[in-house]
Amino acid sequence: MTVYYGADKAGGAGLRVERLAAPLPQATTEPLFHISGGLVNVKLLVGEVTEAIPAGTNQSTLLHETLPITAAASISGYGLGRLLSLDTSFTDVLKTGASPGGAMSAIATPDGAGWLFAPGDINLQCDGSLAGQIRWLLFYHPLDPGAHVVAAA
């Protein structure tokens, strides 16, 4: 079912897609979302730790296909409820909440414009092999007829 979050199709958060909690990639890259059918404007992309990530070495980054959309950041030692998101620039590190269960600002897009993505996968890359799980939410607006986003399996 398609549900718009916001006042109308042009405003608000847009369409919501959820990728259910899944284990972290183990020293590899795994898809989170698949974009197809045309361009989309991603308004919000946020992850929530649903199973604590133990201490250790684990630099992680978000990618569009193979292009980094965040700089690598350590997510080791993150507790239940810790939040992750994009920041204002693709060169910034993966933005994180201050503490488990704590609040964080939503992505601070320039003028609330969001990020434009062509068809392809939004991936999570981890260089370590730590336990832990994250669920992801993505809100977007299609810019081309037939453009849509689905959660990766």
At 38-95, the pLDDT tens digits run 999 988 889 999 999 999 988 998 999 988 888 888 889 999 998 888 765 555 556 5
Q: Which domain holds residue 109?
A: 18-151
Domain contains 86: yes
Interatomic CA distance for residues 136 and 134, integer angstroms? 6
Interatomic CA distance for residues 21 and 50, integer angstroms? 7
Residue 131: Cβ within 10 Å count: 12
Radius of gyration of the chain (CA): 15
- CB 70 within 8 Å of CB 94: yes
The string of pLDDT tens digits covering residues 93-151 is 565 654 444 444 444 444 567 788 999 999 999 999 999 999 999 999 999 999 999 99
Domain contains 55: yes
Domain contains 12: no
Interatomic CA distance for residues 58 and 73, integer angstroms? 8
Short-list 151, 44, 51, 62, CA closest to 105: 44
As a whole number, mean pLDDT of residues 18-46 equals 94
Domain contains 50: yes
Give the β-pairing of 148-151 and 28-36. Answer: antiparallel
Domain contains 60: yes
Q: How many domains would you assign to the chain?
A: 1
Predicted confidence at residue 147, as pLDDT, reads: 97
Domain contains 10: no
Predicted confidence at residue 92, as pLDDT, reads: 55
Domain contains 83: yes
Instruction: Write phi, then psi, for 69 (nearest 5 degrees).
Output: -110, -5
Structure tokens at 40: 């989309």
Predicted confidence at residue 68, as pLDDT, reads: 87
